[in-house]
Amino acid sequence: MVLGATGVASAAPARKPTLSVGTPEVSGALEAKVVGGVIKRSKTKLLACYKKALASEPALEGLATATFTIGGDGKVTTAAATGLVKDFAACVVATMSKVTFAKPKDKQPVEVSFALRYEPDTVESVPVEGSFASLTGNSGVSSGFDDGNVYRGPLNGKVPDDGKASVWGAGTTAGAGKDGTSPSPSPTPMHMMSIGVARATGAYDAALVRRHVKHNAGKLQYCYEKQLQVDKTLHGTLNAALTVGSDGLVRSATATGLGNKNVESCVAAVIKAIEFPRPKAGDITATISLTFRPAD
């Protein structure tokens, strides 16, 4: 914006798309650290895949999983990507298919999965804090990213009215000031939640399950926030199972694995209230994991 004849144009903070690579899950005779190092060297190419996808879908963001098999010669034999739009997935698969790894000591195939966190609009000048939990392709169980973007806790300790995910990256205080202007950014507790890969029976699209669960991320986070006030060390992965009826309503929902009945029952209740798209053929069952970590 130019101020008068002698005004100076104020530059907006530079923004750029980002893609974070999670710590891989490795099944076989290769070290995860070694495999992860090779994957990270392909990060620039994976980011290029994302930038290309953004050209046709500017708001594209989320979490996804890439899986592949390393043959006895160290070359990738098969690769797949879930949770991505078609062209983005094809580019990720093509990129990973060209990568060569160390040869497994026993010459046997090695199965690998790793998570991708992609965001279109990150402010370069804001440092990324902490670490966040990711998702993997192994039964929807989450494992840790070693990059920075996180889900923060509910703004001002409250659950957003729309039930959507709370802020990524630097925290801000929601709402306008008394004079109608936007308030200054203020830090919020960086309590972390990640939503794992959903799995569903039959021909039902598991991505739909994950999307609708994500829309209720604020409420799910609040289940954790309440109990974190009682137990500051509470953390871990919770696995939810649900049955969706032919009308799209959840007939049953359970949550286990965190070791805190209050959080588990609260999460189950939130999921029980979600209305999903109607399955084309009868009831379906689905599973999804949620990983919670406190700010410390």
pLDDT band at 163 (very low <50, low <70, confident <90, very high): very low
Q: Is the dihedral of CA 190, 217, 67, 88 positive or negative?
A: negative
pLDDT of 59 over the 60 cut: yes
What is the structure's pLDDT at 193?
81
Mean pLDDT of 225-235: 88
pLDDT of 197 over the 70 cut: yes
What is the structure's pLDDT at 121?
65
User: Is residue 143 exposed (0-12), middle (13-18) or buried (19+ Cβ within 10 Å)?
Assistant: buried
What is the structure's pLDDT at 48?
93
Could you tell me what percent of the chain has a pLDDT over 70? 70
Mean pLDDT of 199-217: 87
Place of tokens 């309440």: 226
pLDDT band at 191 (very low <50, low <70, confident <90, very high): low
Q: Cα separation of 24 and 137, whole Å?
A: 10
